[in-house]
Chain A
Amino acid sequence: MAPTKERPKPFLIPKYCKGCGRCIEACPQNCIMLGKDIQPETGLTPVILNLEKCTGCGMCIVACPEPYGLAPSPLKADYELTDPAAMFGPRASDAPEPKEIPDKTIPLPQLKPMVLKGTYASTIGALLAGCRHFFGYPITPSTEGAELMAKLLPDLNGVFMQAVSEVATINHMYGCGGAGLRSMTFTSSPGFSLMVEGISYMIGSEVPGLIVNVMRGGPGLGNIGPEQADIKLACQGLGHGNTHCIVFTPSTPQEMLDLTMLAFDLGFKYRNPVIILCDGYLGQMTGMVKLPDHMLQPGIPAWAVYGDNMHRRNLINSIILSEQDLEKHNEHLNQKYATIEANEQRADLFHCEDAEVLVIACNIPARMSKGAVQVLRSQGVKAGLFRPITLWPFPIKLLKPLLSHVNRLVVVEASNCQLENELRLALSHAGAGHVRIDHLQHYGGILPQQQEIVDTVKTKA
């Protein structure tokens, strides 16, 4: 038989005892008693130990809920009973300083253009951008993207997961993005509504991820026709609190691919989710898509909670109790938003140089508008198309200089003024709210058509 080790008796630094008394009933030798003296630091009454009969059974230690409450005393110790460093040792966390594992750009051979529908183009863009994790819940008219992901991801050793809901989807993305990886989802308006809570958490915790919203008719269940009814939600309503995301509005399958790739880069650059808004038409529409000359193998950012020792120190979190700290965190977010506003405004300008009237439109209505502008030009009307590619930040820096020669804006949209409101807000902040604004709006799955746009520009002149 091995010699029985002397079992350590417990010790207690009174200020870390909450006086709950669990240890009292735990001790078979009745060594522990309720105390009488209130600890000035805590206002609580620690227990008193009388270890004469103590056998070192350790039951009191197992019973103590406080990490620095009852603990085994160092054997043969000459410790100072009130110095935690002497008692518990000087050890701080031995987790290393996290370092970034950088992304790798891998050149692709020259590939011929593909013929893809919008959601497919976005899917392929995501794969090229190094996304290997997809989470989603089926909803028309976005599901083809998810279906293609389900088909292709296994061959790239990726993970496709159909979540129990859109709420779960966005929280899967929170976990995966928090681990430092690129993840995405396809959804459509009602599903996007369900995700905004999670988007607020992602923004608060600075977790990137891509949400592609193939917008459909609303409110409520609405229909599955194309609308642009979530501009308000994406630009001004991303859940509770001080939230913003870059919001892209592609208008071709090509842009679905290009902006998907860009969205991942910017999402990780700014540690923020990114939203692509497209309408049901663009999701379904097939067109030519040129492939990029590179693909990406993402690394792991220094801040990620990847689940390895390098990143053990990290925390993904949005609860900040102290008012001062939370204000500071919001100031940090504001700074980030300001940087994005300064650097990421994007728009496509068509015949804008000398235009007197500008049509403002995005997504598929921008294509009808482009056709209309061409017709108007052929009829001698000095029309141009200003097509925002980012809705947040609104590309006001590109629009404002044009207002020296433009006397009228005509907003063409498949929603109830949501694009126009973004425009008006941006103009107002830029001190350019005086310009005349007319509009053409459709809802419920009907898109403004080219001839109508021509007529609107002409009749309202």
Chain B
Amino acid sequence: MSKVIYRKFERHSHGEGIKGMSTHYCPGCGHGLAHKYLANAIEEAGVQERTVTVSPVGCSVFLFYYMDTGNTQAAHGRAPAVAVAHKLANPNAVVVAYQGDGDLGSIGIAEIISAAQQGIPITVIFINNAIYGMTGGQMAPTTLMAQKTSTSPHGRDRLMGEPMKIAELMAQLDGTVYVERVALFNSKERIKAQKAISKAIRLQVEGKGFAFVEVLAECPTHLHISPRETQKWVAEKMVPIFPLGVKKDVEKDPWFSLPAPNFDTQQMSKVIGASSEAEPRYAKGFPSHIAASDIAFKLAGSGGDGAQTAALLLTYAAIVEGFDATHIPSYGPESRGGTSYADVHIAKDEVLSPSAPSPHILIAFNTPSMVKFAPQVVAGGTVVYDSGVIKEIPKLNANVRAYGVPFTEIALSLGKAVVKNIVALGALQAATNLFPPETFLNAVRISLKEKCAMIPVNEEAFQRGVKSCQETGAKK
């Protein structure tokens, strides 16, 4: 008796009476054999201590009654997803997913195909007995044509589709290294089955890839014939549709290994981009000449105008100055080529409402944004806009000042259209004196610390925005 099978089945009705040493399977069922060969294979490979067996939903849901390994019971069809995660959690574990035909070939078809294509080394044992056992004899994806089941009482017909040839399907997928279909109906086939299952475990232990064994098995109970007749039925009826043999056996070098997770604090700081250096502050205090304790901004343009980047720089600059700030972008399809707008708030203590339906300040990059948002700017507020693009100023609330600066033209004259949003920030600075120029420039430099070569042109763009705004002044 393999030592990978529990000496007593404590989980089978608490191991009481005969159930402590007897399986829950019907006489003549194929599952017991497949379990036994699996246990033998695990023992042979010497990996019992690090094996995790994943039980499916189906008659073999109680595989964990028997296997003296780590055990996880998975939801219907999901054993491969669960098994892959076990392997990723502990690459040293040997993980086996054991599934029936309904579990693997029907409800779990997406999980098995993606796991097999991915090819992470796990072992899948697939029991094909052409019927649903646990739920009481319904049609399986592998039920034969004309076979009668409780949900194909007149026999499986064309409307129900042809039986699914899973092993052949698995062999097509790139991640599998070994696929074989075996059977249990005579001594010769049983010995081949044992060998195949052993090989499928070994390939995993060697880290070579995803190994798959389809086992044609007997379910006498739902075929309503004797165990011996069922073996004959598998041999004569199933084998012609599901030919036995090796479907794929490719030599691959061991490839699977994962490094141990890293918990080094320095690496962590680096990875998340955190630093302990304090940024310099330049502002003397909160810009309460704009609003007492909370300033709302809207930045709007088309997708490529850089409104979101400018909004983030603004947010960042304010936070570095010790204030609270938030940025909400418009997101999703509308940000793909359409209008893109951002709501920014800067607050002395805490931003309360982060949206900006009536901003104090608008930066508009194109005409639709100007038309839509400029009238929403509160009385006494400020509009900064691209005067090369926007030719008309809509009706504004009382005392709103509008500053036209040719963001795009200036950016083009610097040879970099993408810096127009930085020109806009320069114009914003000059128009509102929100923060000193250094506050913005510092934010720009930090955001470009990985692209240092870009810093001079951005600085230049900012200064040109400031200058142009000062020269043009506000239009009423």
Bitwise, B296-330 to A at CB < 8 A (1) or not (0) is: 00000000000000001001100100001111110
Q: Is the CB of A285 within 8 A of B328?
A: yes
CB-based contact B28/A21 at 8 Å: yes
B21 at the interface (CB under 8 A from A): yes
What is the interface residue range for chain B against chain A?
35 or more
Q: Main SS of chain B's interface residues?
A: mixed
Give the CA-CA distance A309 to B32 in the complex, in Å. Answer: 25
Q: Which 5 A-B pairs have the closest CB atoms?
A: A307-B93, A65-B32, A175-B85, A371-B352, A179-B89
Most buried by A among B17, B28, B35: B28
Chain B proximity mask over A166-197: 1 for CB below 8 Å, otherwise 0: 01100111111011110100000000000001
A197–B81 Cα distance when bound, in Å, is 14
* B9 to chain A: closest residue by CB: A67
A244 within 8 A of B: no
- The answer, yes or no, to whether A368 is at the interface (CB within 8 Å) is yes
Cβ-based interface call for B290 (8 A): no
Contact of A140 among B7, B72, B113, B332 (CB under 8 A): B332
- A-B contacts, 27 of them at CB < 8 A, read A18-B26, A22-B227, A62-B190, A68-B1, A91-B3, A93-B7, A109-B265, A111-B274, A124-B272, A156-B263, A157-B258, A167-B110, A173-B85, A174-B74, A174-B75, A175-B89, A178-B85, A179-B85, A201-B74, A224-B331, A284-B329, A284-B331, A295-B263, A312-B68, A314-B70, A317-B73, A322-B13
Interface residues of A in 84-115 (CB under 8 A from B): 84, 88-93, 95, 104, 106-115
From A64, A284, A287, name the one whose CB has the most chain B CB atoms within 10 angstroms.
A287
Q: Which residues from chain B contact A95 at a C-beta distance below 8 Å?
A: 68
B95-123 with Cβ < 8 A to chain A: 95, 110-111, 113-114
Q: B355 and A65: CB pair below 8 A?
A: no
Q: Select A67's contact among B32, B50, B276, beta carbons within 8 Å.
A: B32
A154 to B110, CA, bound (A): 26
A54 to B337, alpha carbons, bound, how many Å?
82
Which residue of chain B lies nearest to A312 when distances are taken between CB atoms in the complex? B70
> How far is B277's CA from A65's CA once the two chains are assembled, in angstroms?
68
Instruction: For the complex formed, measure the closest distance between the CB of B323 and the CB atoms of chain A, giving whole angstroms.
Output: 9
- Determine whether the beta carbon of A174 is less than 8 Å from that of B85: yes
Docked Cα-Cα span, A201 to B85, in Å, equals 15
Report the nearest B residue to A181, measured CB to CB: B89
Say yes or no: B23 contacts A312, CB within 8 Å: no
Task: Count residues of chain A with CB under 8 A from any CB of chain B.
Answer: 113
Of the listed residues A22, A44, A156, the one surrounded by the most CB atoms of chain B closer than 10 A to its CB is: A22
Interface string of B80-91 (1 = CB under 8 A from A): 011111101110
Q: Is A397 an interface residue (CB 8 A)?
A: no
> B95 to chain A: which residues have CB within 8 Å?
307
Does B332 contact A92, Cβ atoms closer than 8 Å?
no
B260 to chain A: closest CB distance in Å?
6
Q: With the chains together, A286 CA to B269 CA distance in Å?
A: 20
Query: Does any Cβ of A come within 8 Å of B231's Cβ?
Result: yes
Contacts of A44 in B (CB 8 A): 27
| Pick from B27, B263, B333: contact of A19, CB under 8 Å | B27
Residues of A with C-beta under 8 A to B3: 91
- The interface bits of chain A over 251-265 (1 if a CB of B lies within 8 angstroms of the residue's CB, else 0) are 000000000000000
**Are A172 and B82 within 8 A (Cβ)?**
yes
Q: A92-B7, A109-B265, A112-B276 are in contact. Are A68 and B89 (CB under 8 A)?
A: no
A158: interface (CB < 8 Å): yes
Which residues of chain B are within 8 angstroms of A59 by Cβ–Cβ distance? 187
CA distance A158 to B268 in the complex (A): 12
Asked if A308 and B191 sit within 8 Å, CB to CB, the answer is: no
Is B186's CB within 8 Å of the partner chain A?
Answer: yes
**A41 and B18 contact, CB distance less than 8 A:** yes
Within 8 A of B (CB), among A143-165: 152, 155-159, 161, 163-165
The answer to whether B49 touches A312, judged by C-beta atoms less than 8 angstroms apart, is yes
Contact A22 B28 (CB under 8 A): yes
- A7-63 with Cβ < 8 A to chain B: 15-16, 18-22, 24-26, 41-42, 44, 59, 62-63
Judged by a CB distance under 8 angstroms, whether A135 is at the interface is yes
CB contact between B70 and one of A19, A22, A130, A307 (< 8 Å): that residue: A307
A19 vs B226: C-alpha distance in the bound complex, in angstroms? 11
The answer to whether A309 touches B50 (Cβ under 8 A) is yes
B473 to chain A, nearest CB (A): 32
Q: Is the CB of A287 within 8 A of B324?
A: yes
Among A432-449, those with CB < 8 Å from B are 447, 449
B71 touches A297 (CB 8 A): no
Q: Are B324 and A156 in contact (CB under 8 A)?
A: no
Chain A residues with CB under 8 Å of B272's CB are 114, 124, 127-128, 152
C-alpha spacing A144/B376, complex, angstroms: 30
**Contacts of B190 on A, CB cut-off 8 Å?**
26, 62-63
Measured between beta carbons, the chain B residues less than 8 angstroms from A89 are 7
Scoring A19, A24, A63, A115 by chain B CB atoms within 10 A of each residue's CB, the highest score goes to: A115
Point out the residues of chain A lying under 8 angstroms from B255, CB to CB.
Answer: none
CB of A16 to closest CB in B, whole Å: 6
Q: Is the CB of B259 within 8 A of A175?
A: no
- Chain B neighbourhood of A449, CB < 8 A: 353, 355, 357
CB distance from B153 to the nearest CB of A (A): 27
- How distant is the Cα of A63 from the Cα of B227 in the complex, in angstroms? 13
B249 within 8 A of A: no
Q: State how many angstroms separate the Cβ of A256 from the closest Cβ of chain B.
A: 13
Q: Do A157 and B11 touch across chains, with their CB atoms under 8 A apart?
A: no
A111 — nearest CB in chain B belongs to which residue? B274
A-B contacts besides A21-B28, A175-B86, A285-B326, 18 pairs, CB < 8 Å:
A18-B25, A65-B25, A65-B31, A67-B32, A67-B66, A88-B7, A109-B269, A111-B269, A152-B272, A156-B267, A159-B88, A168-B78, A176-B89, A180-B89, A197-B75, A285-B354, A286-B327, A449-B357
Are A367 and B325 also in contact (CB < 8 A) when A93-B6, A112-B275 are? no
How far is A68 from B278 in the complex, measured between Cα atoms in Å? 71
A175 to B355, CA, bound (A): 40
Nearest A residue (CB) for B315 = A286
Which A residues lie within 8 Å of B21 (CB)? 16, 67-68, 84
